[in-house]
């Protein structure tokens, strides 16, 4: 049976209004038990709740902020900022070349959590002054902490509480890290369709590569780097829930988008591949993107190069 992530069960938000919804502890415990995960059920049973059995939202927020703060080390150690810029630098070069108008362009990080990526991009100015940086998250506590950190660091970026696809201003490029595996079944294609239906020119979403070694790698990393049992648990479950290359390429093949995968499984050493991105670009951008990438463009493949992906 598919394992569940505790953090998905202990907070609930109306995806349109962003309003926090009450979560009954017994319900979360029941779902985890039914999935065969007694250890996770025990972790949730130990969380504070009020006399009606509703989880204490402030305690849940504190817990998730501390788990995400530990999780930020994963982004630091995997050099997520540099990896994103390796692709987004050439992507924005292609956009500047073809758009016919000067910026500003807007990068939106969907499900930014504590906003590590957006803050790193702002601190390094790696994409250039014509790229506005925005992080969006449905979780008010996480995105609130992202804003607080950005102000403390004096960074030129913005954090918004809400649904990344309901923003008043359109994104030029959508990005994310560690978000894709949360979308299952038809919700994954819907995630890509929402971006294709917007005026955005491209997206680039990083998530855990579904290699046989991913769950072991995640266990070692989370054991070494995270203290709270919730963080350790969810880290391993998310690696198990990682989408295959084929699933991502099929789901990202939505009208108006050319789906591409960077460093697909099989083309790279499984010991080195941890998070890899699925990209979608408006078709006219593919050739200039490949030119701007230079030799690295060989690692960018479409569904036609990944025979098993399209079956
Ligand atoms: C596992 S967290 C990833 C956090 C962060 N990207 C990181 O790498 O640490 C996934 C986040 O996505 C957010 N999320 C999911 N769908 C979203 C949407 N449509 N708009 C904004 N946030 C979303 C959830 O609230 C959650 O905080």
Q: What is the pLDDT of residues 273-304, one digit of tens each?
A: 578 899 999 999 999 999 999 999 999 999 88
* pLDDT, mean of residues 143-160: 97
- Does residue 267 surpass a pLDDT of 60? no
pLDDT at residue 87, rounded to an integer:
97
- Does residue 213 surpass a pLDDT of 70? no
Instruction: Report CA(214)–ligand 1 centroid distance (Å).
Output: 21
Pair (131, 16) in one structural domain: no
136, β-bridge pairs: 110, 160
- Does residue 272 surpass a pLDDT of 60? no
Residue of 63, 111, 208, 237 to mutate, ligand 1, most atoms within 8 A of C-beta: 111
- Does residue 131 surpass a pLDDT of 80? yes
Give the best-scoring range by mean pLDDT among 5-19, 170-184, 204-218: 170-184
Instruction: Report CA(176)–ligand 1 centroid distance (Å).
Output: 8
Where do we find the tokens 């502890």?
25
Find out whether 188 and 180 touch, Cβ atoms under 8 Å. yes
- Does residue 311 surpass a pLDDT of 50? no
Pair (73, 195) in one structural domain: yes
Pair (125, 274) in one structural domain: yes
Pair (178, 245) in one structural domain: yes
Instruction: Report CA(111)–ligand 1 centroid distance (Å).
Output: 3
Pair (161, 35) in one structural domain: no
Count how many domains the chain has: 2
Pair (93, 161) in one structural domain: yes
Query: Which ligand 1 atom is nearest residue 109's CA?
Result: 6
Instruction: Report CA(137)–ligand 1 centroid distance (Å).
Output: 6
Q: Which tens digit of pLDDT belongs to each residue from 234-262?
A: 888 888 888 999 999 999 999 999 999 99
pLDDT at residue 209, rounded to an integer:
83
Find out whether 13 and 19 touch, Cβ atoms under 8 Å. yes
Which CATH number fits the domain that encloses residue 268? 3.40.50.150
Average pLDDT of the chain is: 90
Straight-line distance from the first to the last Cα atom of the chain, in angstroms, rounded to the nearest whole number: 24
Q: Helix crossing, 286-293 with 80-99: angle to 10°?
A: 130
Look at ligand 1, atom 26, and give the residue with the nearest C-alpha.
Answer: 111
Q: Which tens digit of pLDDT belongs to each residue from 68-112?
A: 998 898 889 889 999 999 999 999 999 999 987 788 999 999 999
Pair (90, 119) in one structural domain: yes
Residue of 78, 110, 179, 231 to mutate, ligand 1, most atoms within 8 A of C-beta: 179
Q: Are strands 158-161 and 131-137 parallel, antiparallel or unpaired?
A: parallel
With pLDDT > 90 as the criterion, what percentage of the chain qualifies?
72
Look at ligand 1, atom 12, and give the residue with the nearest C-alpha.
Answer: 111
* In-domain check, residue 251: yes
Pair (21, 147) in one structural domain: no
Phi, psi of 104 (to 5 degrees): -75, 145
Instruction: Report CA(73)–ligand 1 centroid distance (Å).
Output: 17
Q: Which tens digit of pLDDT belongs to each residue from 9-30?
A: 999 988 778 889 999 999 999 9
Find out whether 54 and 99 touch, Cβ atoms under 8 Å. no
Long-range pairs for 181-184: beta carbons < 8 A, 24 or more residues apart: 181/207, 181/208, 181/238, 181/241, 181/242, 181/243, 182/5, 182/8, 182/111, 184/241
- Categorize the per-residue pLDDT at 154 as very low, low, confident or very high, splitting at 50, 70 and 90: very high
Residue of 63, 68, 71, 113 to mutate, ligand 1, most atoms within 8 A of C-beta: 113
Q: Which residues contact 5 (CB under 8 A, 6 or more apart)?
A: 182, 233, 234, 237, 238, 241
Pocket of ligand 1 (CB under 6 A): 68, 71, 110-113, 136-139, 142, 163-165, 176-179, 182
Pair (39, 89) in one structural domain: no
Pair (144, 17) in one structural domain: no
pLDDT at residue 101, rounded to an integer:
78
Pair (56, 68) in one structural domain: no
Look at ligand 1, atom 19, and give the residue with the nearest C-alpha.
Answer: 163
* In-domain check, residue 199: yes
Instruction: Report CA(307)–ligand 1 centroid distance (Å).
Output: 31
Boundary of a domain, candidates 16, 41, 60? 60
Pair (287, 145) in one structural domain: yes
* In-domain check, residue 1: no
- Does residue 41 surpass a pLDDT of 70? yes
- Categorize the per-residue pLDDT at 266 as very low, low, confident or very high, splitting at 50, 70 and 90: low
pLDDT at residue 54, rounded to an integer:
97
Instruction: Report CA(294)–ligand 1 centroid distance (Å).
Output: 32
Which region among 59-73, 121-135, 269-283 has the lowest average model confidence (pLDDT)?
Answer: 269-283
* In-domain check, residue 123: yes
Instruction: Report CA(145)–ligand 1 centroid distance (Å).
Output: 14
Q: Is 89 helix (H, G, I), strand (E, B) or coil?
A: helix
Per the structure, the complete domain to which residue 20 belongs is given by 6-60
Find out whether 202 and 95 touch, Cβ atoms under 8 Å. yes
Look at ligand 1, atom 21, and give the residue with the nearest C-alpha.
Answer: 137
């Amino acid at each position: 049976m598919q394992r569940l992530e505790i953090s998905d069960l202990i907070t609930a938000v109306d995806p349109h209004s962003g309003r926090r919804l009450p979560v009954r502890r017994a319900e979360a415990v029941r779902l985890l038990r039914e999935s065969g995960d007694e250890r996770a059920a025990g972790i949730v049973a130990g969380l504070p709740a009020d006399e009606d059995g509703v989880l204490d939202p402030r305690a849940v927020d504190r817990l998730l902020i501390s788990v995400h703060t530990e999780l930020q080390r994963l982004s630091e150690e995997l050099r997520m900022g540099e990896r994103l810029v390796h692709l987004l630098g050439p992507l924005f070069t292609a956009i500047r070349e073809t758009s016919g108008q000067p910026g500003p362009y807007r990068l939106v990080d969907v499900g930014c959590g504590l906003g590590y990526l957006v803050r790193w991009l702002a601190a390094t100015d790696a994409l250039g002054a014509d790229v506005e940086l925005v992080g969006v998250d449905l979780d008010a506590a996480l995105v609130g902490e992202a804003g607080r950190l950005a102000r403390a660091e004096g960074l030129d970026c913005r954090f918004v509480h809400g649904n990344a696809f309901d923003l008043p201003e359109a994104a030029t490029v959508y990005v994310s890290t560690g978000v894709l595996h949360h979308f299952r079944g038809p919700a994954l294609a819907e995630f890509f369709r929402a971006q294709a239906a917007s005026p955005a020119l491209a997206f680039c979403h990083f998530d855990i590569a579904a290699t046989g070694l991913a769950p072991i790698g995640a266990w070692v990393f989370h054991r070494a780097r995270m203290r709270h049992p919730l963080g350790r648990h969810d880290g391993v479950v998310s690696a198990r829930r990682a989408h295959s290359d084929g699933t991502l390429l099929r789901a990202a093949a939505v009208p108006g988008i050319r789906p591409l995968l960077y460093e697909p499984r099989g083309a790279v050493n499984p010991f080195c591949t941890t998070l890899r991105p699925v990209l979608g670009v408006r078709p006219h951008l593919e050739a200039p993107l490949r030119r701007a990438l230079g030799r690295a463009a060989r690692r960018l493949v479409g569904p036609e190069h990944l025979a098993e992906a399209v079956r």
